[in-house]
Chains A and B, each alone.
Chain A
C-alpha cells in the first residue's frame, strides 16, 4: 500500500522524478567512468606491455614500477645484458614524455619487431627517413592521421610512414637514435627488454643479474604486469576517494532538495495521514522508500550513462583514454549513492514525521 503511494507520488511529478534520478545518476556515472578509465587504462598498459613479448625488463635505478621513465640509463648495460646466459635478445627502449600522459618511444626497429612478433601495419611501413614516425591505429583515429600526414611533436614535424595495429607498448614510435639525438641524450636509454631461450629461466636470470646490478630494478614481465593495478597508483586511489565523496555529497544535495520541496508540497497529505493515525515511523517510511526508489532509478540511469561516457571516450579519444565497464563497481557506486541519498532525506523526513496534523488541516 505504501509502495503504491510512493509510486503514485513519483508518477505525479514526472519531471521532478526524472531530473532527480538523472542528477543522482550523474554521481554514479562519475564514479563508474573514473574507475572504468583507471581500470581500462591499466589493462591497456598491461596488454601493451605483454605485446612486447619480453620475459623480463631492466629499468633504470630509482625508476618507479608503473611510471613512464626517462632517458637515464647508460646504454653500456646493454652489452652486459646481452652477454648473460639464456638471453637470446635484448633491445633498448627510449621514452620521452611529451607532456601529460603522452610520450614518444624510441626503438631499434628490427630488434623490437623480432621480439614482439612483428608489427602488423594497417597502412604504410616502417621508418625510412630520420623524420619518419610510426603510430598505432587508435592514435591515428584520434588525431585523424594517415600515412604521409604530418605530426608535430618534440618541436618538429614528422611524417607518418606507417600505422600499426595497437598493442605494442607505445602509440608513437621513432628510431631510438633519432630520439637520443633530439633529447640530447646520446648513449642513454630508458629500459631494456629481454627475451630468454626459455621463460622458465626467468627467475634464475633475474637473480644472477641482481648480483651484478644491485641498483637496477629488474622485473619479470609477468610480475610487472601484475603491478598494473589501482593499488599501485596512490594518486588514482586518492582521486577515486575524492570523486566518491563528491558523489555522496551530490546524492545528498539532490535528495535533500527534492525531498525537502516534496515535504513542503505535501504538508496536507502528511496531515491527512497523521489524522488517519499514521505515526512518525509511517511517514518516515514513506519518504525513505521514495528516496530508495529514486536512488535505485538514479543508479540504473547512472550505469546506463556510464556506457555513454565509454562510447564518447572510445569515439573521440580512443588513444588517450580507455574506459572499461567495471561490473564490480555497479553495486559499490549504487550503495555509495544510496548512502548519500538516505543522508539527504533524513532532515526532510524528520521534519515531516514531526509535523503536527492540525497545521495542515486548518480549514479555510
Chain B
C-alpha cells in the first residue's frame, strides 16, 4: 500500500531578487512500512522535501499525498493538523523542551494531539527498546546526546503518525551512538511497521534503510 505519493513537486524560494529552485520536479512513491534513506549533497533540497512532507511549509507546485490526503491545497490550519496527527519529526538537533522532563516532553506531544489516556503497552515496549524507560523523570540536560535523540524519536511516534521524518538524526552523534539510534529506527520500523524516511550524509547510515534515493539539485534519483 502506497503511503506517500509525490509527483512533479516544486519548491521555489524567493530570496531577495533571486529565485532559488530548491525542488525542481520531485517524484517519489513510498510504501507503507518502508524505511527509506534520502542522501545527497548539502543544499540539494533534502530538508526542503521533508519540510513540505511534514507540513512545515507549502509546496510551490506539484502533487503530494500522504495516506491519501493531498497536501497541495492545505492551508496553515490544515498543515497544523497534519503535523499533529500524521507526521512525526526527528531533527538533527534533538529539539526537546529543556524545562520539561522526558515524560513531559513526550506527553506534551500527546496533549497537543488532544490525547490524555495513559501510554499503552506497545509504547512502553518502545520506551524499553529505546532504552529510556528508566530515565523518564530526567531533564534533557541530564541526558547524553544519544539519549536525547532517542527521546525525540519516542516523542515523534507517540501519536502513531503515518510517517516518521528524520532529518540527519545522527548528525550530531558519534559512531557508537549513531549506530544505536539507526539500529533502533530499523528495529522500530520492522517491529511496529512504522514508515520511516531518513535524511543522511553518511552511506553507512543509509545502509540501515531498505532503500536509498539520491537528491541532486532538487531532483530525486533512484526513486
Contact = CB atoms under 8 A, between A and B. Distances in A.
Interface in A336-364: 357-358, 361, 363
Contact of A275 (B56, B77, B81, B98): B56
B113 interface: yes
A275 B97 contact: no
A1 B108 contact: yes
Contacts of A363: 47, 91-93, 167-168, 171
A355 B97 CA distance: 17
Interface in A263-291: 268-269, 271-279, 282
Contacts of A4: 100, 104
Interface stretch (A5-13, A86-94, A219-227): A5-13
Interface stretch (B3-11, B25-33, B82-90, B206-214): B82-90
A5 B51 contact: no
A357 B171 CA distance: 21
B111 interface: yes
B180 to A, nearest CB: 21
B113 A268 contact: no
A272 B80 CA distance: 12
Contact of B56 (A11, A278, A279, A358): A358
B47 A277 contact: no
A236 interface: no
Nearest to B85: A277
B134 interface: no
B160 interface: no
B40 interface: no
Nearest to B51: A358
Contact of B57 (A11, A268, A277, A358): A358
A279 B83 CA distance: 10
A2 interface: yes
A94 to B, nearest CB: 69
A310 to B, nearest CB: 38
Interface in B131-160: 155
B112 A277 contact: yes
Interface in B76-122: 77, 80-85, 89, 91-93, 95-100, 104, 107-113
Contacts, number: 77
A273 B112 contact: yes
B45 interface: no
Contacts of B59: none
B54 interface: yes
A282 B57 contact: no
Contacts of A361: 56, 91, 93, 95
Contacts of B91: 361, 363
Nearest to A277: B84
B99 A5 contact: yes
B54 A275 contact: yes
Contact of A276 (B93, B108, B167): B108
A5 B101 CA distance: 10
B interface bracket (residues with beta carbon within 8 Å of A): 20 to 34
Interface in A1-35: 1-2, 4-5, 8-9, 11-12
A133 B109 CA distance: 77
A292 to B, nearest CB: 18
Nearest to A2: B111
Contacts of B100: 4-5, 8
A41 to B, nearest CB: 48
Given A5-B97, A12-B99, A276 B168 contact: no
Contact of B83 (A1, A5, A11, A274): A274
B57 to A, nearest CB: 6
B77 A269 contact: no
Contact of B104 (A1, A274, A278, A282): A1
B83 A9 contact: no
Contacts of B168: 363
A11 to B, nearest CB: 8
A5, A271, A358 — most chain B CB neighbours (10 Å): A5
A271 B92 CA distance: 14
Interface of B: 47, 51, 54, 56-57, 77, 80-85, 89, 91-93, 95-100, 104, 107-113, 155, 167-168, 171
27 contacts: A1-B107, A1-B111, A2-B111, A4-B100, A5-B97, A9-B99, A12-B98, A269-B98, A271-B95, A273-B97, A274-B83, A276-B84, A276-B89, A277-B80, A277-B81, A277-B85, A277-B113, A278-B84, A279-B77, A279-B84, A358-B56, A358-B57, A361-B56, A361-B91, A361-B93, A363-B93, A363-B168
